[in-house]
Every structure is written in C-alpha cells, then in structure tokens.
A and B are shown apart, each in its own frame.
Chain A
Amino acid sequence: MKIMCLIRQVPDAEARVKTANGTVDLQGSSMALDGMDEYGVEQALRMSEGGAGTVAVAVGPQRFEDAIRRTLAMGLERAIHIETDLVLDVVTTSRLLKAIALEEQPDLIFVGGQHADTDSQAMGAALSEALGWNLVTWTTELTLEGQHVTAVHDVDDGKETVELELPCVVTTQQGLNEPRYPTLPNIMKSKKKELLKKSLNDYGISSTMVRVVNQEIQQRARLQHIIDGKDAAAAAEQLIVLLHTEAKVI
C-alpha cells in the first residue's frame, strides 16, 4: 500500500494577514501545515504500517520545508518538495502532480478539502480528473478492505456513503480523525528522513495559466449599532424596526 499526501504551508488560521503593494505580506506571520492537509497525513499513518510506503508531496516556496518536516515528524516516511516561487494554477498543478503520481505509483492520494491560502477546493478534483482516478471529496469516514474503499462524505444537502476501488483521490476535512502531535523521538527521527528536492524544470513546467493581479484586504465598514438588551422586549422591538426601516433587510 503506497499513499501520497499532498500538503502545503499556510498562515496560521488565527494569524492576521497583511498586504503591502497589492500583495499578501507573510513577513512575521506564523505559518503552519494546512489544517485540512493534516487530516490526510493522519489518515495515511493509520492506513499504513507505521508510515511505511507514505510520501508527502509539496509544491511551493522554500519556506514549505517547515510544514514538510512536520509531516515527517508526524510519521510519514519521506517527502518530495517541488520548490518554486511561481504560484501555479490548479490545472497546471494537476499536470505536475499527475507526473509525480505516475513516478510514485501510489494507491491512494490525500488532498486537503480546501487550501487555507488560496481558499481553493479544486485540487483533489483536478488531480483525480488528470489521473482518471476515482474521487471522494469532503470525506469524514474511510475504510479499506483490499482494493475496496467505503467512504462517507459530505455533499451540498447532506451526506453520502460511496463504494469504489483503488486507486483513488480522497479530499479530507474535519471529522475524519484527530491528527496526532509529533513526539520528540519522532521529531528527532524525522531529521534523518529523505526530503527530495525537485524543480518545475524537471517536469517541463515553466508558466501558470492564472495570474494573481492584486491582493488586498477589503473590510466592510460595520455600523456598530449596539443595543442594550436589559429590557429584552424593547431591545427586540427596536432591532426589528431598524432592520425593517433602516437596513431594509426584513
């Protein structure tokens, strides 16, 4: 059983994000392994024999190395880092990852349900389509018997249980498992694990199809009309009237 985990490093969910000159400025922001990817790493560890046959794959700048090291400290066996400062669009990335998957021959690929930097949900779907593999998105339960996968996943208006065969791509989210913290001995061990560096050049990729033109922080000015609710009936009456006559939403 070989499992590939696609991972990325993103600003901490609680971190304040700043922009400068139309670009997100991550200087001084605390960065972390994307929480959605962490569920995939944990699942890979549970489905393998102590991490055997698992590989983390990351496409991004040099700083991604901290997040990659974290997945190795959690227990993944080795890692591949395609180091680039170019922000690749999802379709081009799917071509790159397809090439890596064809080299690595995994049975299963985990991808975070949504990236916490691009806010994209597209990577798992794009990769499965590029490979022609089965896909389960927004997975909350996953069991494997031989080549046979049973999964429970969220859809727009509820949940579905699906059955399919390996190989497949699975996108992960909260609820699938509780990701472990790396233990000190595992952190020590991870420093000796293989981290293979590659470049886009190795895969004949040099450009992106989508250009980021501008990034800015748009904050809606809020009215901040605060009503004291000690007299609940009067406060409620006042709010409903404001919503009807001033805000005109009801």
Chain B
Amino acid sequence: MILVHCEHDGTRLRKSALEMLGAAQALGGEITALVLGRGSSQVAAEAAKYASQVLIAEDALLEPYSARNHAQAIADLAVQAEASLVLTSGSRAGREVAPRVAVRLDAPYLEDATQLELIDGGLRVKHYAYLARVTETLEAIAPLIVVSVKPNTQAVAQPSANLGEVFEVELELTPSPIQVVGRTQEKTSRVALTEASLVVTGGRGMGSPENFKLIEDFADVLGAGVGATRAAVDAGWRPYAEQVGQTGKTVQPNAYFAIGVSGAVQHMSGMGKSKLIVAVNKNADEPIMKVADYAIIGDLNAVMPALIAAAKKLKD
C-alpha cells in the first residue's frame, strides 16, 4: 500500500498532492491518502476521488505547523496501515518531514524524486545532484521506503469512479517544544512559485525595484508565478520567498521567463530543468542565452511593455 501525505490549503489539495497521487496511481496498487491538520475533513472528499481510503486528523497539536508532530503522525499511521511506500511533497516542508519519518521508521529515504519505478523488493528513482548538474539514479530495497517527490514532475491523478472511504484517526501527539512567535506570510494572489506552470523571473538587469512592476504585470497576464534572482533579493528589491536558485526555490515549470537575468550557476541550479526557457536580455553573451529556447536580445524597458501588450492581445 502506498501512503500519500497530501499537502493542502485547508480547503483544497495542493497540486503537489495531486501529482503524488498521480505518481502513486502510475506505480499501481492500493493508495491511502493522508490529510492532516486544519480543514482536513473538508479536503477529504476531494482526496477520496483518487485513493481507496483517506485518513484524516485535525489534531490541534499539528498547528501551528509542526514538522516534528507531522512526522510522528505520518510514521505512526504508515506502520498502522502497513504501508510499503510513503510519499511526501518535495516542498521545503515535505523535505523536512520526510527524513524525520524515515528516521522514525529506520527506512531508506529517497529525496526529491523526479521519476519513480518499482523494482523487485524496492524502488528506483531519479533525482538531481551536484546543484542539478547531474541526474542520479538511486535504488533502495526495503519493506518500507520513504520518498519525497519533486513538484511539477508528475502527471496529476485521475479521479476514479469509486470514492475512497474516509476514516478519522486519532493521533498521540505531545505539544511541540518550539514556539512560533512570529510569522510573515508573503502575501500574494499569485500561484505558488514551485507549483506554477509558468514562472517570470527578474534579475539584476531590471535595474530597480520599481521596474519589477513589468515582471508582475507580465506574470499576471500569463497567470504565472513571480521569481527573482539572488542579486535582486540581495539588493532588497524582492522578498526572499521569490528567490530562485541554490539558496532559494527550485522550479521546473513548463516555461521559465528569465528577464534581465545573467544566468549564474547557482541560479541555473534552481531553474535549469525548466521545460522551456525564455530569456530577455540586452547582452547576447550572458550564460542564460546558452540555455534559452527563445530569447529576445534587446532593452527590457522597451521589450517588456511590448510583451505585456502582445500577451494581453492573445488572451483577449
């Protein structure tokens, strides 16, 4: 049985959850969806379309988000439900929880998988290594294996005709010893960067924080997520949550727009696997140009308003 820990926003499953359920369907066999935290009973009905059973728990000790308590819940339920595979999201939170689960279960952990394949007695996955410069194939043979799945790499799940049965489960948690005393949520109406199918990123070439209006406007026309390079974040032009690269987020969208971005190795490690790369830059010699599928060589102050207008025209 495959246990899928589903991330959600309190009302709906996140795309990463639909992708993991899709990956589980592709692997075959019985699927149990695990929906933890506030709103899980609301989300359960959606999860039931993709899994033969849904386990939900709204334990107050899961909030504010506690990785420790989530890990304990997932590990305990994996044992109770006799899972052979536990899938979590490759989000930051998922990549903190998954190794904790693996340690609790003394199970092998395969991190940030882009492809999953059952082998005799175990699992083989691909993932990126060496700042995404290398693709590694890893294998683990064990009765129980924990895997985090890289966002935007799996086909989303197909609903089944039969709804899975929903069970409310009791957890045996203790209060988290970590007190969350402050929280700044990056307020954005835009789609989450790591899950966005289109991403528009501005770099040092934007020249000023005000000029990021061009990035935001273009992103809004396309329904894209907004990203920034380390240079733009270090300059204080953009919040860290938007940083794409080795020390920021890793994205793999259908199309990545690099606007005024030179293409440092650390940045490329965060976006180099994008299915399509589009660059706008005044300098044809920048490293980003070597990995671009489409590029406009020109002044972004002239090109971006024109792109926004052309994209608007297309959308109308």
Contacts and interface: CB of A to CB of B under 8 A. Distances in A.
Interface string A103-142: 0000000000110111111110110111000111110100
B185 to A, nearest CB: 4
B222 A121 contact: no
B278 interface: yes
Given A90-B102, A159-B183, A215-B135, A225 B177 contact: no
Interface stretch (B19-27, B29-37, B138-146): B138-146
A161 B255 contact: no
A174 interface: yes
Contact of B134 (A19, A121, A152, A239): A19
Interface in A149-172: 150, 152, 154-165
B294 A91 contact: no
Interface residues of A, number: 83
Interface residues of B, number: 90
A174 B230 contact: yes
A114 to B, nearest CB: 7
A192 interface: no
B133 A17 contact: yes
Given A215-B135, A226-B295, A119 B100 contact: no
A240 B133 contact: no
A118 B129 contact: yes
Contact of B109 (A126, A164, A175, A233): A126
Contact of B293 (A89, A122, A224, A233): A224
A161 B180 CA distance: 6
B131 interface: yes
B182 A174 contact: no
Specify the main secondary structure of chain A where it touches its partner.
mixed
A213 to B, nearest CB: 4
Interface stretch (B39-47, B87-95, B157-165): B87-95
B130 A91 contact: no
A250 B198 contact: yes
Interface stretch (A44-52, A61-69, A204-212): A204-212
B231 interface: no
Given A91-B109, A211-B138, A222-B293, A121 B96 contact: yes
A239 B112 CA distance: 33
Given A232-B299, A240-B314, A160 B180 contact: yes
A217 B135 contact: yes
Contact of A243 (B65, B183, B255, B295): B255
Q: Select the residue from B130, B294, B314 with max chain A CB neighbours within 10 A.
A: B130
Nearest to B133: A17
A40 to B, nearest CB: 14
Interface string B249-292: 00000110000000001100000010111101000100001111
17 contacts: A13-B131, A36-B247, A89-B108, A90-B109, A91-B106, A119-B131, A121-B92, A122-B95, A136-B178, A150-B181, A158-B184, A210-B109, A223-B294, A232-B305, A233-B306, A236-B309, A249-B254
Given A154-B241, A173-B247, A229-B302, 10 more contacts: A117-B130, A119-B130, A121-B95, A121-B111, A122-B98, A222-B292, A229-B298, A229-B299, A230-B298, A239-B307
